Structures are given as structure tokens and as C-alpha cells.
Structure 1
């Protein structure tokens, strides 16, 4: 074995042991736990070379070594394949996702199962509505002065908004208006709703014009809200399991996750590798996410939206990459059906 492949094997062993134990790894432990086929002295020399290259470092005065961000990157870039989920994992995923009723249920179930699989913070970006079209519009009476406007898209997304009115309205009248709206909105992109609504108002009877304007405005607002980038999270409590992995405090990380702007920008810029996933490690990330690693994959039409996890750089990258890629594929399959 030449020096470089052997040193890669030593680096891999250090990454695996440190991820599992959170303890700095020494040469003696590497020889005992891994079939490296060389002496402790040779492993020490390899570790010295890896340290010179900036791939590992000694924390404080410890005799052991831990991977650096550069070391994790070197390791991740040389992962030869991403394993599929186990039979039990696939069964759990399909059971949970197949029971979801609408897009919000699908998103919630998706981040829940991904967080459980990886024990990290799971994040999913709602699919963009570029390819979605309107499938149904409903108006439902709630009380004398309130009704509900419901917009259902081809992606399964269901949005609703309470509308207040100043006149008595019966359900039959609303049903007739819904039929008129659907005549012009069926199979129309939310982006084209303004033009369709203008056509609708030209055919609405005069006595229903005011009501139709109120309902049309509600639908327009629903379409605009749905177009904004949205993120759903699950498993933020997992960050608290190992606060020592995040420098001085996990507070700034939690704030970045809550504000979502930085995370959205990061997800948008991440490009998938040959395995169909993207990995950003440590200082490759923005701002307060610089103490984390983010593993993501695209899903849906054109892989435009992202799903992934946020966790410490001390992460089980092969398993995490596997889970993220698999869940992204399941999600794409569910949305396409």
C-alpha cells in the first residue's frame, strides 16, 4: 500500500472513531480498532503527515487527534458510494409519508422522518410553484360575516384564508361563484392568476361584483404567500445533545435557523455532486452556520427545492448523505404522483 491510500485509510478511521466517541483519537487506538496492517509507529508517522496537511489537529494538549474542516472535506470528497437505506428504514419512511394527506402533511412528515433517521436538524424547502397549476377553488361559509377561501394546487398544496364580508351570503351563492372562478382558473399557474381574475370580473353579475372582488383578492394573496420561500424544520432539540460541538454557544445557530434567510440562501446555492447530494462543511457555510455542516439534496421538478440536515461537523457523513438522498427521492416520487 502506498503512503497516500494508507493515509486516507488512517484519516477515515480517525473520522469514524471521533464521530462515534467524540474523543480525540490516538495511534494506539487506531491500530487496535482498525485493520490498518501497519505498526503504531507507521500510523504515528501518517498522523503527523495528515496534521502537516491540515487534515487533523490536536485539541489543546491531548495526545489524540481530531479531524479539521479540511479533513472532513477531504474525507467526504472521497466517499466512493452512498449506500441505500435498509429495509427497515425504507418501510418506516414509506409508512409515514404515504399517510400524509396534503403538502403540509407531506412536508411535516418528511422532516420528522429525516430528523429521526439522522438525529440532526432536518430542513425542507417547500417546492416552488413554477410548475404547479390551480386544481380547485372553494368558498365555505363559517358564520354570518365570515367565509373561507380555499386554493388547491396540483402539487397537493392546500392554502386557505378567512374572508370577512358586510352582507349576508348563502352557501349556494358561493358555490355558483366558485364554479365561475374555476371556469377561468382551472389549470392556470398562480403566476397567471391576475389576468384570469380580470376576466372573471367581466362576467360576474353586478350584484356579485363586490363579493367577487373580495374573494378574488383572497385567492391572489394565497397565491402570493405560497410563492414565497418557506422552510419547515424538525429536530432542533438535537443540537442540544452535543453543545460542545458548536464552539461557545448554539444560540446563534438556533437564531439563524429561526430567521431562515441565511439557510435559504445557503440551500439555494448548494449544488449536488455525483452522488446526488451536496455537503457544506464548517467555514464553507455562512455566518453563524460556520460551526455546522449542511447536507442537502434537491427534489421535485428540476430538483429546484432542497431537503437536508444541519448538524455538527462531527457528523456521520455516509449515513447522513444516504438518508438525505433517499428521502429526497421519496419526496419527489410522492409529489409527482
Structure 2
């Protein structure tokens, strides 16, 4: 290997050992543990060059070095392959997620699974409003003057609303209303469905008052912002990494700001592409000591329905974490996309 390739190999060794031990790494340890085929003197020279270029630093007067954010970035960019999950791990993911009963359960399970697999904080975004279409609208008569509307989307989202009519409806009127609403809505993206509902009162003269009331409730449901709904799990993992109380509090506060997390997931619009942000590449100052790994989820060869990922210290096992995030996203995409 040439000098540049060897330096990257030395950096890779430093990252691997530091992630494993949380101790600065010296040249002797690299020679002993990694078969680079060069002497300690050569490794020391390479470490000096890496330090000059800002990829590693010496935290105190010991001979050991630790990676900088720039070093982690080079390490991630040069990952030739991500260690795939074992067949047993993949089967465990599929079995766990296949047991979910609805969308909420899928997302809760995926967050718990991701937090367990990576030992980091996991976050999953609900399917975004703009990419959902109406699959069905059920209209249920609770009393002659009260209805329940159950809106079901292709992504598995279920929204229930109760409507007090002020008028009494017969079973035939309820059936007509159900047929009218489904004809107007089924197959339409939620973004255009609201407009379709708003024009309905003009079409049913004898049910105009009822349709106006129902339409107002439906429009409210259709223009809500479920993309601002997030599921978070594994926050206790932050304490495991030995962060001090102040930085721990800062990270937790940043995660509670949904806008911050949504920005992290905003770039995750491709289910095939993992995004890694390291240290100050994260927008929020409270996350400067962390790395975030995110990806979109959804049907294959289609825009992502939402994003998911993990947040943890910059000293993380990037290859395994990337593999876990990618695998869970794929299974969630298959389940949600196929509902």
C-alpha cells in the first residue's frame, strides 16, 4: 500500500481501538493488534502526519492519540464496506417488527429495536403528510346525530374524529355520505384531499348542513402535520457513554426540540442512502459532541415516507451502527409501504 493508504489504515486502527477501549491509542498497540506490516517507527511517523493534518490529537502528555471529528469523517468516508448483519440478527428484526399490529406499534417497536441494536438514542419520524394518500374513509353512526369518521391512509396512519351533527341522519343518509366522501377522497394525496372535501357541500343540497360540518372536521384532520410526530427511544443510553451532566442535559434538550430532530432527518429522503453527521456537522450546538446516523424508510424505488436514525457520541461503532440503521429502515419500509 502507498503512504496515503497506510495512513488511512493507521487512522482506521486508531478509531477501532479508541471506540473499543475509550483509551488513547499508541503506536505499539497498533503494531501489536493490527497487521499493517510496518514498524513502530513507520506508524509513529504516520501518526505524526495524521496529527499535523488534524485527523487525530494527543489529549494529554501520554503517547496515545484519539480521533478528531475530521478523523471520524475520513474514516466514515473511506468505509469500503459496512459489516452486514448476521442472518440471525436479520431474522430477529423481521420477527419482532412483523408482530406489530398497526403503524404506531411498528414505529414504537422499530425505535426500541434500533436503540437495543446500536446502544444509542433512536428516533423515528411518522410518515410525512405529503407522501400519504387516502385508502379509505369509514363513517360510523354512533347515535342518530353523532358520527365517527375513521380516516385510513396507505401508510397505515389511522385518524379518528367524532362529529356532532346537530341533525338526525338515517342509515341511508349515512351510507350516501360514506359513498360520497370515499368517491371524493380515495386514492388522493392528503395534500389535495383537503381541497376535494372543501367542495363537497356544493354537491349534496339535501345534506348540505351535515356535509359542511363533516367536511370542516375532515379538513382539519387532513391538514394536520403528522410529520412533526416523532418516536424517541433509548435516551438512557446517553448516560452509559459517560457524558458529563451538563452535556447530557444539552443533548436531551436538543432531542426534545422536535424541530432539531426533524432537521436531522430532513436529508433522509432516500431509503438507499445513509447520512452520517459528525460533531459540528450537526446544526444544533448541543449536538456538537454527537454523531447522527439517519436514513429514509419506505417502499423500494420510491421517495421515503419518513426518516429514522440514531444519535450518540462521536466515539461510536460506525460500521455496525450504519448496518443496523439500514437494516431496520428496510424492514420498516417493507411493512409500512406494504400496508
TM-score using structure 2 length: 0.88
Contact 2:198 2:215 in 1 (8 A): no
Alignment of 1:119-158 (within 5 A): 119-140=119-140, 147-158=147-158
1:201 and 1:167 mapped to 2: Cα distance? 15
Tell me how many residue pairs correspond in the alignment. 334
Match of 2:80 in 1: 80
TM-aligned CA deviation for residue 286 of structure 1: 1.0
Alignment partner of 1:15: what SS?
Answer: helix
Partners of 1:83 and 1:291 lie apart in 2 by 25
User: Which residue does the alignment assign to 1:282?
Assistant: 279
Matches within 5 A, 1:49-88: 49-88=49-88
Q: CA deviation at 1:95?
A: 0.9
Deviations 1:264-299, CA, capped at 9 Å, x for gaps: 1232246879x7211110011112211111111222
How far apart in 1 are the matches of 2:169 and 2:23?
69
- The match for 2:318 is 317
Looking at structure 2, the residues matched to 148 and 243 of structure 1 have their Cα atoms a distance apart, in angstroms, of 50
- Note if contact 1:247-1:291 (Cα within 8 Å) is conserved in structure 2: no
SS in structure 2 at match of 1:160: strand
Computed over aligned residues only, the root mean square deviation of the Cα atoms, in angstroms, reads 2.7
The CA deviation string for residues 88-119 of structure 1, in whole angstroms up to 9 with x for no partner, is 11111111222223322222222222222111
Could you tell me which runs of 5 or more consecutive residues in structure 2 were left unpaired when the two chains were aligned. Answer: none
Structure 1 position 157, deviation (Å): 1.4
After superposition, the Cα gap between the structure-2 partners of 1:75 and 1:111, relative to the gap in structure 1 and judged at 3 Å, is same
* CA distance in 2 between partners of 1:79 and 1:198 (Å): 52
Deviates more, 1:70-79 or 1:305-314: 305-314
> How far apart are the structure 2 equivalents of 1:55 and 1:171?
72
Change (3 A) 1:270 1:167: closer
- The equivalent residue for 2:331 is 330
* Displacement of 1:252: 1.6
- TM-score, normalised relative to structure 1: 0.88
Cα drift, residue 211 of structure 1: 3.4
The 5 Å alignment of 1:160-199 reads 160-164=160-164, 166=166, 174-199=174-199
**SS across alignment from 2:262:** helix
Matched, 1:106 2:106: yes
Residue 107 to residue 10, structure 1, CA distance change in 2 (3 Å): same
Question: Are residues 61 and 211 of structure 1, via their aligned partners in 2, closer, same or farther at CA, if it must alter by over 3 Å?
Answer: farther
Instruction: Pick closer, same or farther for the CA change 1:109–1:175 going to 2, 3 Å.
Output: farther
The 1:235–1:164 alpha-carbon spacing in structure 2 relative to 1, beyond 3 Å, is farther
Q: Name the CA shift for 1:147/1:225 in 2 (closer, same or farther; >3 Å).
A: same
